[in-house]
Amino acid sequence: MDKNEERDILRIENLNVRFETEDGVVHAVNGIDMKLGYRKTLGLVGETGAGKTTTALAMLRLVPNPPGVVECDRLEIDGQDVRGMSASKLEQVRGKEISMIFQDPMTALNPVFTVGEQIAESIEIHEHLSKEKALEKAGDMLELVGIPRQRANEYPHQFSGGMKQRVVIAIALACNPKLLIADEPTTALDVTIQAQVLELMNELKEKYDTSMIMITHDLGIVAEVCDDVAVMYAGRIVEQGSLEEVYGKTMHPYTEGLFNSLPNIKNRQAMLKPIHGLMPDPTNLPEGCAFAPRCNYATEECKKACPALRNVGGTHMVACVRYEKDPNFMIDRRKQNG
Amino acid sequence: MADSKEMQLRASKLYKKRSSFEMVWRQLRRNKGALLGLALLIIIIIGALIAPIVYDYDTDVIGMNVRERMQWPSARHICGTDDLGRDIFARIVYGARYSLAVGFVAVIIALIIGTALGAAAGYIGGVFENIVMRVCDIFSSIPSVLMAIAVVSALGKSTANLMLAVGIASTAPFVRVARAAVLVVRGEEYVEAARAIGQPDWKIVIVHILPNCLSQIIVQATLRVGSAIISAAQLSFLGLGVPAPAPEWGSMLSSGRLYIRDYSYMTLFPGIAIMITVLSLNLLGDGLRDALDPKLKR
Amino acid sequence: MADNILEVKHLKKYFKTSRGMLHAVDDINFTLERGKTLGLVGESGCGKSTTGRVILRLLEPTDGEIIFEGKDISKLSKSEMRHMRKDMQIIFQDPFSSLDPKKTVSQIIAEPIIENKIIKGKLAREERVLELMDTVGLAERYINTYPHELDGGRRQRIGIARALAMEPKLIICDEPVSALDVSIQAQILNLLKDLQKKLGLTYIFITHDLSVVNHFSDDIAVMYLGQIVEKAPAEELFDNPVHPYTQALLSAIPIPELGHQRQRVQLKGEITSPIEPPAECRFAKRCLMCNEEVCKKTVPQLIEISPNHFVACPLKQKELGFNV
């Protein structure tokens, strides 16, 4: 193994996930490559149905089968091949090496156990500590996320939404995972609480040297917590790169469309420029670029073949035919940003 | 201009209107148990319908034939004959008419009373709901056969009273199901939207709430027909149901029980008939529940 | 004299709970000019949706006046209210639960027309349904589909068409885009804006999304636990927020830009319970500026600190030289 590869916590090559249902085959994820360095945070951005959550579940091997079928050439977490892992080995990896925070804190906690017990449970399993020691550590974890340790004996319904999400974060971080996958962790929360939770996650990430994948539809959150960004559309990554590259030198028309759909807080007169049309039906993806039917820059060329993700300098990758044909091609956002 | 509008109207009507029946059928088709239940039920119903054509009631079903009494099943009498020499198969087929009629009519009575009360309780709430539900609790705490016995004893012995008795005894579950369903649907935003456009309450219940509770009520009804048939058979067994000599399955069991040691077929076949009918209804009911429950849909 | 379509005075809505009265909406006052949009912002549980529903009398107000076009509708009987309904409509948040799953698109849109006998005759009515579908950008081929066959954006368009069917003057938009994806969200926001221009509609726009409300509203009222804490024209509110809660809210918006630096206004502590709240500033427990002497004495009143800019913070009012 060469040194370069060792530095990645996560390596995925050619990940495909499809769901075989009665109504047809849903192509949820179509050939995704992903690489995440230690202590890095990747923002996985896209709309409903883009395949963000499915990608994350595939990393944890949590895609239900049937109907889900996962295929990939490589899936390594911290240098370990996860693909052929036995169920018991997998359980060790989940929680200890990689753990996940789900969107809804209301359903992620078991209502019949105290929050202390729930945090202690995963510590007990993964760190082989006695019950008392685990509960002790659970108290530490609660303090870490800003909840007084006396509240460890309370039940989830006694906590507010923001507090519950803190508990969920405490559970996810209890065993110092090397990789944390957060699936829309703040969508169910109010803005002021969201700000606090994001801040907390930023702090903890630094403290524990955790790498993170932040799944979100909110470009503002990405700007706040992520180093790298991958934009997904119809199960593919259409643009990828560092935050500076994707936000500062946006290249893909879909990414531009996302930015244009957001109200500009500094200029309230600015008209919104929504992306017209709808996301394609994942059972029946178009032959060429999946975004072509909604794209203002689309040409005949775009409808023919699906563009591959190509490097355009630095770590910046984009999947758009127009750049292949014309190196000087520019989308409007680029022209404005100079 | 007007012409083109009309053309468009016509064109848009061509767009396929998918019925909910089709969708339920698609779900149901996958469930083998439910299909079996449906097939059995259809056979039983067809049997009950053509029974008067095949058999003559007076001679084949209730006419005594002492020479052929107590015959074990044979090619001539495939289920044997009873103590009065009547062909048991003919009586079972004819008896399906009574059992199905009592079962369905009783459930329809229960459904109408129960759904109306349950829906009103769910929508109105407050004291009215409390009273209805407590009465419901009292009804459910009395065994349904006991209750039916009380009703039949009070009203007198007849097929109509049997239906009424079984119907009243199975009302409580409908009140519960209807109320629960209405409570869920009442909170939906489209009910609020209907109020916002100025629809009066009674209309909201009929137009928006009940159609959306219907699936749960239908499932409940299908499952209840089975137990209503059993209740009716029990009452007839006790001599409180359909009066003799009508070939009701419960009374056939009752008359056969005297000979159960030596002529067990006399109770076996009516018993099997009850079992198959109730089983087919339960299979179908379970299948319908799975097909209609949106949470189980993939 | 401004042409006010709606005036709300001392509006209150309390709910009975086992632990006492829950003050969901507690003494709210505002006026709304015809053709304008008032944004009602706040976090979950602040009573913004309840306010919308009480104004429409979908919930009965506990106290106060709702003056719609010069007429107090808060005391109208049920049947009198039914006649008023065609002037005021609502668009719901959840495009999945706001449409009856057993009805087709045309039945849903036609229902208000039939109910209020606006258009007689089947053909004329269907023509109107098609016209409405066209107005909200729904292709005609969907006329006989059921809502569950359509996506969130299209469903929301059906909801808008249903609201427009009665040609209302005031529409309350209760988080109309929160359940939608960003690209679809922008489509619906643009549609609502176009409709306002075309039909001269007045909106009350209820949302928790500050960037959306900034884009969409003329005036913004910020609510906290059943009360309006600050109200000002959108630009003024964003440029010069005065109430500490407004400041905290604004500073919490994640901005999708590179290197956006900001001073985040910190909040502390637990939220005051809306059940039988004490007579003090309800934000006091979370406010870092809270001064026991001033903030915990009385319930703060909304005072106009500069033209059209109202604030209910006793500390700031004092700072600016008002008598509290």
pLDDT tens readout for residues B139-177:
889 888 888 888 888 888 888 888 998 898 889 999 999
pLDDT higher at A268 or C40: C40
CB contact under 8 A, A268 and C234: yes
User: Which residue in C has a C-alpha nearest to residue A271's C-alpha?
Assistant: C190
Chain B residues with CB under 8 Å of C165 CB are 197
Chain A residues with CB under 8 Å of C153 CB are 278
Q: Please give the pLDDT value at position B259.
A: 85
- Averaged pLDDT, B94-116: 91
Q: A220-224, B214-218, C309-313: which range is least confident on average? A: B214-218
Read off the pLDDT of residues A24-41 as tens digits, 9 standing for 90 and up: 888 889 989 988 888 899
* Distance in angstroms (rounded) separating the CA atoms of residues B59 and B72: 20
Residue A124 vs residues A143, A253, B234, C77, C279: alpha-carbon distances, Å: 19, 48, 58, 63, 47
Q: Does C86 touch chain B (CB under 8 A)?
A: yes
- Averaged pLDDT, C68-88: 89
Strand partners, C306: C309
Q: Which of A177-191, C88-102, C252-266 has the highest mean pLDDT?
A: C88-102
CB atoms near residue A53 (< 10 Å): 20
Q: Does C107 touch chain B (CB under 8 A)?
A: no
Read off the pLDDT of residues A87-113 as tens digits, 9 standing for 90 and up: 888 888 887 888 888 877 777 888 889
Q: A123-127, B281-285, C206-210, C215-219: which range is least confident on average? A: A123-127
Q: Which amino acid is at A39?
A: R
Q: Identify the band that residue B89 occupies on the pLDDT scale cut at 50, 70 and 90.
A: confident
Q: Please give the pLDDT value at position B10.
A: 43
- B277 and B96 in contact (C-beta within 8 Å)? yes
Mean pLDDT of chain A: 85
Chain C residues with CB under 8 Å of A243 CB are 258
Token pair 């009703």 is found at B151
- Averaged pLDDT, C149-178: 91
- Averaged pLDDT, A118-141: 87
Q: Identify the band that residue A142 occupies on the pLDDT scale cut at 50, 70 and 90.
A: confident
Characterize the bridge pairing of strands A228-233 and A41-45: parallel
Chain C residues with CB under 8 Å of B218 CB are none
Q: Identify the band that residue B11 occupies on the pLDDT scale cut at 50, 70 and 90.
A: very low
Size of interface A-C (CB pairs under 8 A): 109
**Which residues in chain C (280-309) have CB-CB distances under 8 A to chain B?**
none
CB contact under 8 A, B199 and C127: no
Read off the pLDDT of residues C99-136 as tens digits, 9 standing for 90 and up: 998 889 999 999 999 988 888 888 899 999 999 999 99
Q: Identify the band that residue C269 occupies on the pLDDT scale cut at 50, 70 and 90.
A: low
pLDDT higher at B2 or C45: C45
Is residue B223 predicted with pLDDT exceeding 60? Answer: yes
**Which residues in chain A (20-39) have CB-CB distances under 8 A to chain B?**
21-22
- Averaged pLDDT, C226-230: 93
Read off the pLDDT of residues C166-193 as tens digits, 9 standing for 90 and up: 899 999 999 998 888 888 889 999 999 9
User: Which residue in C has a C-alpha nearest to residue B189's C-alpha?
Assistant: C98
The percent of residues above 70 in pLDDT, for chain C, comes to 98
Q: Please give the pLDDT value at position C62.
A: 93
* Distance in angstroms (rounded) separating the CA atoms of residues C24 and C225: 7
User: Which residue in B has a C-alpha nearest to residue A19's C-alpha?
Assistant: B298
Mean pLDDT of chain C: 89
Chain C residues with CB under 8 Å of A272 CB are 186, 189-190, 215
ipTM above 0.90, yes or no: no
- Averaged pLDDT, A249-274: 86
Is residue A298 predicted with pLDDT exceeding 90? Answer: no
* Distance in angstroms (rounded) separating the CA atoms of residues A152 and A135: 9
Q: Identify the band that residue B298 occupies on the pLDDT scale cut at 50, 70 and 90.
A: very low
- Averaged pLDDT, A247-257: 91
Q: Please give the pLDDT value at position C261.
A: 67
- Averaged pLDDT, B90-95: 88
- Averaged pLDDT, C139-150: 86
Characterize the bridge pairing of strands C63-68 and C4-17: antiparallel
CB contact under 8 A, A261 and C182: yes
Mean pLDDT of chain B: 83
DSSP designation for B87: B
Q: Identify the band that residue B5 occupies on the pLDDT scale cut at 50, 70 and 90.
A: very low
- B79 and B92 in contact (C-beta within 8 Å)? yes
Element (H, E) at A204: helix A191-208
Read off the pLDDT of residues A183-236 as tens digits, 9 standing for 90 and up: 988 887 788 888 888 888 888 888 888 899 999 988 999 998 999 999 999 999
Chain A residues with CB under 8 Å of C211 CB are 262-265
φ and ψ of A316, to 5 deg: -75, 125
The percent of residues above 90 in pLDDT, for chain A, comes to 17
User: Which residue in B has a C-alpha nearest to residue A66's C-alpha?
Assistant: B298
CB contact under 8 A, C252 and A192: yes
Q: Does C151 touch chain B (CB under 8 A)?
A: no
Across chain C, the runs of DSSP E, i.e. the strands, are 4-17, 20-33, 37-41, 63-68, 71-72, 88-91, 170-174, 202-207, 219-224, 227-233, 303-306, 309-311
- Averaged pLDDT, B6-30: 59
CB contact under 8 A, C111 and B188: no
Q: Does B18 touch chain A (CB under 8 A)?
A: no
